[in-house]
Amino acid sequence: MRKISSLLLLLALGLRFGVAIGQVTNSPYVEERYTRSVRIVRVELTDQYTIIYMQHGNPALSQKFRMPLPGLGGWISFDPDSRLYKPGLTSQRFMFIKAEGIPVSPKQMNVSPNELVDFRVFFERLDPGIEVFDLFEGPNPEPGHEYWNFYGIHIKNPIIQKPKPRPATPEPAAKPKPEPKPEVQEPIITKRPPTEKQPEKVAVPDASPSAPALVGMTGTIYDAKTQQPIPANLTYLDQDDTVRVGVPSGKYRLGLNSKEDYSLTVGSKGYLSTSFDVSPADSSGATALEHDFYLQPLAKGASVTLDKIYFATSKYELLPESYGELDELATMLRENPAVRIRIEGHTDNLGDFDKNVELSRQRAEAVRDYLTKKGIATERLETQGYGPTRPVGKGNSETERRKNRRVEFVITEI
């Protein structure tokens, strides 16, 4: 009991005088990692350092196979340009200090197949309150050279607050005399005469011999989760005229020129809009087409990639081909005034890391500026540049890199 009491006393003194107490997280949860050859065993926070305990090699393979496995050997080292940062805050970096149990590049250490290597790396101390961080060692520039990148490392790192002094109890003030209640007037309600409902105008197609051949297109607009039809609006461009069709029952019917191409956009209040490109001329002579739409309900945390956003190479000026999709996004935000979003810019891993982060931030801000010109309040639009740190394509081919050069938006409030 005396030992326990002493420990509690030391803990209380530490909190009283603001002494930092180390935090240890064993087997931290990692959302995503680039490599399967290295794992994070432990993260320890001291007064000076963030210490990451790591292990190279696969313990299961080491125990299962007594003979060396071909192709699993090589060399290892740790890149001193590695950095820690809070996801999304790449400008605030916690730099590498030293490594123990592994050489620092350009030095190397040879490892044999199935060999387990335990080592630890020291970085600057993470600020209290940062309980999720990324470890970015570098991009993968060429086959056979693998960087150890970890995204979303969850640890214990709470903010320790000093106890606030108890305020003095004020003397009770004299109760004020109640003021006389004002007279309440009944509201005046006036009845408006009912307005006559105007008959809906129905467009009649031109039946003259010179009218172009029409291709009928039908379908249903569904809630993607409930699979039930929902009311929506369908918009498309027909010979430079924007046509907006209300679909109250969820079932639509269109007459499209067989010689034109169309981009149909479907939206509904409370849902993410979607687009579909159709070319009746490529329908092999069919006189009727059918396509159903499935709209995703708006939800906090939902992420959408804007596939038709284009920039000049290595620049952040929007190209005119981007305006259509951005107009659709602006329409969705106007129809859902409570929605707030975070616009995220991403790049591939070619070129300087810091310049890529800056370019991705500028591209996200260019999208925000376009939306504000369309009447969307700035406070509803947050921006963030992630550079190459959130790849969706993990390869080094041009196709994979093209996937990573993108703009997304995430719903932050609804």
Residue 197 is predicted with a pLDDT of: 47
Phi, psi of 322, rounded to the nearest 5 degrees: -85, -15
pLDDT at 321 over 80: yes
Query: To the nearest whole number, what is the mean pLDDT of the chain?
Result: 79
Alpha carbon separation from 87 to 152, 217, 385 (Å, rounded): 7, 45, 10
Q: Which of 16, 15, 45, 13 is nearest to 28 (CA)?
A: 45
Residue 146 has pLDDT above 70, yes or no: yes
Torsion of CA 330, 332, 334, 339, to 10 degrees: -110
Q: Residue 329: name the closest of 315, 342, 345 by CA.
A: 342
Q: CB-side exposure of 304: number of CA atoms within 13 Å?
A: 24
pLDDT at position 175 is: 59
Q: What is the pLDDT of residue 144?
A: 65
Q: pLDDT above 70 covers what percent of the chain?
A: 73
148, 157, 164, 219, 344 from 112: Cα distances, Å = 19, 36, 57, 61, 42
Structure tokens given for 176:
């004020």
Question: What's the pLDDT tens digit per position in 149-178?
Answer: 888 899 999 887 766 666 666 666 555 655
What is the fold of 214-295?
Answer: Immunoglobulin-like (2.60.40)
What's the whole-number mean pLDDT along residues 226-248?
A: 83
* pTM of the predicted structure, to 2 decimals: 0.54
Q: Tell me how far apart the alpha carbons of residues 118 and 230 are, in angstroms, rounded to a whole number.
A: 57
Helical (H) or strand (E) element with 324 = helix 323-335
pLDDT score for 214? 73
What pLDDT is attached to residue 342?
A: 95
Q: Per-residue pLDDT for 2 more than 50?
A: no
Across 109-113, 202-206, 241-245, 345-349, least confident range: 202-206
Q: Average pLDDT for residues 196-200, to the nearest whole number?
A: 47
Is the pLDDT at 9 greater than 70, yes or no?
no
Helical pair 323-335 and 353-373, crossing angle rounded to 10 deg: 60
Res 269: pLDDT: 84
Tokens of 47: 């007064």
- What ranges make up the beta strands (E) of 2-149? 23-26, 30-33, 38-45, 49-56, 74-76, 83-85, 93-100, 109-111, 117-124, 132-136
The DSSP bridge pattern shows strands 49-56 and 117-124 to be antiparallel
At residue 221, does pLDDT exceed 90? yes
Q: Report which secondary-structure segment, H or E, holds 277.
A: strand 274-278
- For residue 4 the two structure tokens come to 């326990």
- CATH architecture group of domain 303-413: 2-Layer Sandwich (3.30)
In whole angstroms, give the CA distance from residue 350 to residue 346: 12
Q: Are strands 262-267 and 232-238 parallel, antiparallel or unpaired?
A: antiparallel
d(C-alpha 216, C-alpha 258), whole Å: 9
Domain range summary for the chain, segments of one domain joined by +? 7-154, 214-295, 303-413
pLDDT digits (tens, 9 = 90+) for 65-105: 333 444 456 889 999 988 898 876 766 789 999 999 999 99
pLDDT given at position 240: 65
**11-15, 133-137, 333-337: the lowest-pLDDT one:** 11-15
> Quick one: DSSP state of residue 356?
H
In terms of pLDDT, which residue wins out, 359 or 246?
359
With a cut of 90, say whether residue 403 has pLDDT above it. Answer: no
Give pLDDT, residue 162: 65
Cα angle value 144/146/149 (rounded, 5°): 165
Distance from chain centroid for Cα 328: 19
* Average pLDDT value for residue range 371-385: 95
